[in-house]
Amino acid sequence: MSQPWGYSCKGGLNVNLNQLEMLQNPGAATRLRNFEVDPDGGYRRIDGFTPFGDTKPNASNTILGMAVYADGVVVCSGTDIFFSVDGEDTWLQLNKASVASGGDSYSAFTGRSTATRASQGRCTFALYEGSSDYGELVICDGVNEPFLFQMTGTGGLNSRTFFAKEITVSGTTGPAQAVIHDQHLIVAGASTAKNTVYYSSTNDIDSFSGSGAGAVVISDAVVGLASFRGDLIIFGRNSIHKLSNINNDNIAVTPITTNVGCLHGGSIQEVGGDILFLAPDGVRTVAGTARIGDVELGSVSRQIQSIIKDIAANPNFIITSAVLRSKSQYRLFYSTNTESPSVAKGIVGTLTAEGFSWSETLGIQALGMVSDLASSGVEKILHGDKDGSIYNHTEGTSFYNAGEATNIAAVYQTPDFDFGDVGTRKTLKYARVSFSPEGEVRPSFRVRYDYEDPDVPQPEPFDITTIALPAIFGTAVFGLVTFGATSDPMERITLEGSGHTCSFRISSNDQRPGYAVNGIYVDYMPSGRR
């Protein structure tokens, strides 16, 4: 007599548990590539990305950083800085020399000669909103003096006014980190003063010598900054500090921890009321408790610790990250500026009721990345690659490599199941997969027996064709999932073969619409024991 068995897809990627432990988490995945965890349950194939306009800001120079500003985006590429609303036709070069003190009209600004800049490093950005139309954007690159850009006016670019200048920070050249904190511009990470944090005058971000300006020194090289809950969090390579009371005589720098530091400033993001950052032992949070001055640190990426070790082991990785507010997601990408975008990797952490659940990406090279709200209130999510191209990060059904649309290769692999009795052989009869398709999709469904033992016959994969029907399951409950409603998104899959354990793999490699896998139901026949 056949027996039913089923589970819901939840828990995300887990590469740290052994086989017995994974049996206690049947909804988790041993592979989850180019899928994302839905906070409400299920694994969804991620979206692709599409070109941002039809031109590059600077030939084929690597993208070094970007920021949402006004109704467009500021991009650092090569030795230059550019602005565009939509990436069409032309990019406005911002690093102009001899700009008038009150700003220039479009024609005067574009007529100015280019300000020579030394080869930029990775760029960070800080936006001081102030009282102007769009605020003042400060760019630090670890090589040049901080660059300040301001734009006022509305309508077409030819009706706006532009201002640009370099900021002198006494005692240093080329800070790499920038943030706005409590009406101050904070910069740090200069090669000539790695342990020093400089802060500007209050409400005067281009003055580092006036009233309220100063500097503090920590016992570690600074790699990142974050303004968080009234404090300035200073991330060092081997420690984390906080600066408090910047606007009074009680300014103080106190250690949060001297036992762990931040691998890369590009990993620092505020997510769900916490600050996330990449440490050698995982993605960690900095979270204040009810006790003043008491900050707890904890890893939220234990499920993917082996992946974290691989990232930490390669000092050549360029690391970028962003928060996708609409998805409650933290995305971190790591790549070198020499490898093909097709082999670039990343991790995706989705904040669920149970904490962060993870997946992987392959084929997204984000050497510069930003996710922020434009002046219209719409969230812009962009990334750029080594070829100097800019992309809308979560649009479309394909990836791009060298300007060509390519397939999204996605795979979800389950643990190896023994259905509660490893000693009994099981003959699988059929399976039903709860899909939520967003169009016509054709994933592949594959069964692997006994850990893919070469001596055990392994059936060929089953191709699935379905359309955008509602994934509604209802009437009968098996295990953790409810199945049986009439709006079945797919026909029953007749299965072949038998084994003591089995795993399932759902994959696709195409440019079709997205889909989610919500759960799997299997009907099987137990047979003899070993």
Could you tell me the CA-to-CA distances from 154 to 94, 158, 160, 177 in Å, in that order? 18, 9, 6, 30
Cβ neighbours of 98 (radius 10 Å): 10
Burial of 156 (0-12, 13-18, 19+ CB in 10 A): exposed
CATH architecture of 50-395: 7 Propeller (2.130)
Give the tens place of pLDDT for each residue, 138-156: 999 999 999 999 999 988 9
Q: What are the structure tokens assigned to 245, written together?
A: 């009371």
User: Which of 325-329, 337-341, 486-490 shows the lowest mean pLDDT across its residues?
Assistant: 486-490
**More confidently predicted of 489 and 111:** 111
Which residues are within 8 A (CB) of 252 and not within 5 positions of it... i.e. 6 or more apart?
A: 243, 244, 245
Indicate the range of 57-61, 96-100, 106-110, 488-492 predicted with least confidence.
Answer: 488-492
Is 41 within 8 Å of 471 (Cβ atoms)? no
pLDDT for the residue numbered 40: 85
Tokens of 424: 């009994």
Is a pLDDT exceeding 60 seen at residue 80? yes
Supply the pLDDT for residue 447.
95
* Length of the chain as a residue count: 530
**Residue pointed to by tokens 């070993």:** 530
Residues 194-206 have pLDDT tens digits of 999 999 999 999 9
Can you give the residue ranges of every domain in the chain? Answer: 3-46+411-529, 50-395
- Interior angle at CA 96, CA 101 and CA 141, nearest 5: 105
DSSP assignments along 337-388, one per residue:
SSS-GGG-EEEEEEEETTEEEEEEEES---SEEEEEE-TTSPEEEEEE-TTS
Cα–Cα distance, 372 to 384 (Å, whole number): 15
Taking the C-alpha atoms of residue 487 and residue 8, their distance in angstroms, rounded to an integer, is 18
Q: Are 136 and 150 in contact (CB under 8 A)?
A: yes
pLDDT at site 297: 63
Q: What is the pLDDT of residues 2-16, one digit of tens each?
A: 888 999 999 999 998
Distance CA 499, CA 447 (A): 10
Q: How many other C-beta atoms can be found within 10 angstroms of the C-beta atom of residue 487?
A: 10
Taking the CB of residue 319, how many other CB atoms lie within 10 A of it? 20
User: Quick one: pLDDT at residue 289?
Assistant: 29
Q: For residue range 425-467, what is the model confidence (pLDDT) as tens digits?
A: 999 999 999 988 888 888 999 999 999 999 999 999 887 766 5
DSSP annotation of 461 reads: P
Residue 221 has pLDDT above 50, yes or no: yes
Q: Whose CA is closest to 75, among 147, 160, 177? A: 147
CA dihedral sign, ordered 319, 324, 327, 329: positive
| Backbone torsion region of residue 354, taken as left when φ is above 0, otherwise alpha when ψ lies between -120 and 50, otherwise beta | alpha
- pLDDT score of 316 more than 50: yes
**Residue 291: predicted pLDDT:** 32
What are the angstrom distances between the C-alpha of 517 and each of 345, 444, 460?
Answer: 22, 12, 20
Tell me the CATH number for domain 3-46+411-529.
2.60.120.260
Greater confidence (290 vs 272) lies with 272
C-beta separation of 272 from 328 below 8 A: yes
Phi, psi of 453, rounded to the nearest 5 degrees: -55, 125
- Angle, vertex CA 347, rays to CA 517 and CA 265, nearest 5: 155
The model's confidence at residue 491, banded by pLDDT at 50, 70 and 90, is: low
Residue 356: closest CA among 304, 311, 308: 304
Which tokens belong to 387? Answer: 């070829």
Instruction: Judge contact between 523 and 4, C-beta under 8 A.
Output: yes
CA distance 38 to 262: 28
pLDDT in tens, 116-139: 999 999 999 999 997 678 999 999
The radius of gyration of the chain's CA atoms, rounded to the nearest angstrom, is 26
Q: Which residues contact 253 (CB under 8 A, 6 or more apart)?
A: 216, 218, 234, 241, 242, 243, 244
* Res 481: pLDDT: 39
Phi, psi of 455 (to 5 degrees): -85, -5
State both tokens at 501: 């354990």
- HEC secondary structure over 79-118: CEEEEECCCCCCCEECCECCCCCCCEEHHHHHHCCECCCC
Over residues 229-247, the pLDDT tens digits come to: 899 999 999 999 999 999 9
pLDDT in tens, 21-68: 887 788 999 999 999 999 988 999 999 999 999 999 998 899 999 999
CB 513 within 8 A of CB 396: no
Q: Is the pLDDT of residue 93 over 80?
A: yes
Q: What angle is formed at CA 417 by the lines to CA 412 and CA 420, rounded to 5 degrees?
A: 150
For residue 528, count other CB atoms closer than 10 A to its CB.
Answer: 7
